[in-house]
Structure 1
């Protein structure tokens, strides 16, 4: 089998027909991603790129839509965090040049792979990145959850602590975050965050933990500062992917429509659900998304002519991947909404009880 045809810049978007069902599916993806982002605090959009790819949207277009949609959300989120004093703008301004470099390199690599290996090669590259990154994040979070359940205090003296205490000049002090760290560490975190954002459409779910554990930034400041940085990475990513013709504004607007509703509900959920439950849901979803992308690797290798799969095997693997992906997103969203409903019922019952007690007392 010959390699996949190489599309010219912008050619990949021509196949997209915006049927009502397709539009509803994209909006639903935005809702789930927004709900998870609001509920988890940051990074829920990691499910949106794979979900769009499962709809048949080329991976590079899914990344372009995700990072463009992230740009608008980052402006609103950064503004809200800024009102609470959670944004270290000095840190953001120091890091944004390395962030820009990361996005620039990522988009250049993705575009080069698309033109050299075609859509299947591009999808394979993006999926492989998801598998590597999400597997690492899930292992880290699973260990964290295990320690919490066993009542074990956070481990000290590990690799992250050694990096955090690295005294590599020049050192720089960030007042809002109240940390003094090496400029090179800050730039390395920014480059990695930008590279991931440019490659898979979202970098915050790695950037935020990196700020916390490597730079020593408080959690709330890390979340706010990452959103501030996401304005720059989203702006540059949107520009570069649009320049190559890989951004379909119809998809972006549908993602916005769904995610704004989801974000509102998710933010409410954080007030009524314990942090341990939040981590458990996030870890479970990350694992399933990583598995779904891993399952698609042989499919893309087949499309590249590097592996021979029968038509039935090709279809079965792709279907199993889709089921795994959608089950994680829809299942996680259902659990979140159920917990919110339970909290609402408990609150209503408590108010009724208080009201009845007042009536009885009078």
Structure 2
């Protein structure tokens, strides 16, 4: 279990690094910023003018589940959610996407709409600022093709399953998504908290990332690579003389699982790619990173468009708000790491993940009651849901305020460092 958690964290770090590069590519390009402004104007202007203030302040309601109501409140909340996710990604160096779907659902967005919107937000950011060309040297074409074939099948099935659950019973759809997040965030949050507590006792702990050449194959990886089920793919020739071989079917199965999970949870799926590739298939970390970045763009794009956008399950106002917020948050978070201790960062990450877990856990009794699985009063269910929402937003808001305050109080110091770094880089370029 510990190795699985380490792989999850490595995947989160790789995704965060890619997210940061993509965001910086957008922010440092005037044409892309201008394009973003043009895209946002139809959303920002009505929000500022409060043109839709008469509409409900949430998406859907207790009896209406499908309509995508727009209001200034919803747009402002989406910016705040994107900002917090960006701060977590930039400051902690791990994916903040895990909090987006729970946060949207807590704000009143129905689960299927939150999933579709989050996937579209990932895809939109990737298309606008993609730096995937820098990673293509580590992408093995054979592995990528086999993986994407499986991913396509997984995404298609996952999207159909989500829509089928929603059409059968909207509450059932929300319940299933919440349960998936409770299990996933509970596992990650618990191990993140244990890791934080241990790191405080071991000041010398470095939290090193796995290295490609030093990786040792697991028993499962050795068994799968011994299998000769055709067609087989040869890879990692730069690490092992003659390379390693794996059946394309095993790679496709991994892709299907990642695609299925991504389509149901509304995430890129990278947190599963790492443990499956590194520990399951015996692929080097470098090759895994390249393939993971490629699959995130494809998976998010295919899932958001073919499985959600075509059926009306994407709310573009929310996606635009999250994109704007995350671009700001990720830059502030990345800069603030220079004046924030690593111990505090680990602690906040664990607490943020557990806050998402607690939020979805507290929402379950009310949903199970609506489905008549359990019997509790509506008042009790509402109180539990409110406790989960208040706790979640209080923790995330506290983290955001803390990071921004650190950034503001150390602004002069950070600006000097940034200026000095720029001068040094310029001198190197001249020389």
The TM-score, its normalising length taken from structure 2, stands at 0.67
State the match for 1:243 in structure 2. Answer: 310
State the match for 2:298 in structure 1. Answer: 232
Correspondence 1:323 to 2:390: yes
The DSSP-based 3-state class of the residue aligned with 2:131 is helix
Cα 1:146–1:334 shift into 2, 3 Å: same
- 1:127 pairs, out of 178, 192, 197, with 178
- Which structure ranks higher in relative contact order (CA pairs < 8 Å, sequence separation ≥ 6)? 1
Cα 1:12–1:347 shift into 2, 3 Å: closer
State the match for 2:261 in structure 1. Answer: 196
The answer on whether the counterparts of 1:34 and 1:263 sit within 8 Å (CA) in structure 2 is yes
Structure 1 window deviating more from structure 2 (136-145 vs 247-256): it is 136-145
State the match for 1:356 in structure 2. Answer: none
> How far off its partner does 1:271 sit?
5.5
Q: Distance between the aligned counterparts of 1:245 and 1:93, measured in 2? A: 29
Q: CA RMSD in A?
A: 3.5
State the match for 2:374 in structure 1. Answer: 307
Cα 1:181–1:31 shift into 2, 3 Å: farther
The DSSP-based 3-state class of the residue aligned with 2:373 is coil
- 1:172 pairs, out of 234, 237, 240, with 234
The answer on whether the counterparts of 1:102 and 1:190 sit within 8 Å (CA) in structure 2 is yes
Correspondences of 1:261-340 after superposition (within 5 Å): 261-270=328-337, 273=340, 277-338=344-405, 340=407
Structure 1 window deviating more from structure 2 (36-45 vs 26-35): it is 36-45
State the match for 1:20 in structure 2. Answer: 72
Correspondences of 1:71-90 after superposition (within 5 Å): 71-75=123-127, 79-80=130-131, 82-83=133-134, 87-88=138-139, 90=141
The answer on whether the counterparts of 1:42 and 1:205 sit within 8 Å (CA) in structure 2 is no
> How far off its partner does 1:38 sit?
3.1
The TM-score, its normalising length taken from structure 1, stands at 0.78
Structure 1 window deviating more from structure 2 (19-28 vs 270-279): it is 270-279
Q: Distance between the aligned counterparts of 2:415 and 2:311, measured in 1? A: 53
Cα deviation digits, residues 239-287 of structure 1 (max 9, x gap): 2111222112222222222122222223334555565554433222111
> How far off its partner does 1:182 sit?
3.2
Cα deviation digits, residues 58-97 of structure 1 (max 9, x gap): 10000000011111223456x3354366752524333111
State the match for 1:3 in structure 2. Answer: none
Cα 1:269–1:74 shift into 2, 3 Å: farther
The DSSP-based 3-state class of the residue aligned with 1:247 is coil
Structure 1 window deviating more from structure 2 (179-188 vs 296-305): it is 179-188
Q: Distance between the aligned counterparts of 2:192 and 2:343, measured in 1? A: 11
- Structure 2's unaligned 5+ residue stretches are 1-59, 211-216, 419-431
- Structure 1's unaligned 5+ residue stretches are 1-6, 352-362
The answer on whether the counterparts of 2:123 and 2:301 sit within 8 Å (CA) in structure 1 is yes
The answer on whether the counterparts of 1:289 and 1:324 sit within 8 Å (CA) in structure 2 is no
**Number of matched residues?**
337
Q: Distance between the aligned counterparts of 1:141 and 1:65, measured in 2? A: 27
Q: Distance between the aligned counterparts of 1:68 and 1:278, measured in 2? A: 28
The answer on whether the counterparts of 1:295 and 1:321 sit within 8 Å (CA) in structure 2 is yes
State the match for 1:92 in structure 2. Answer: 144
Cα 1:147–1:220 shift into 2, 3 Å: farther
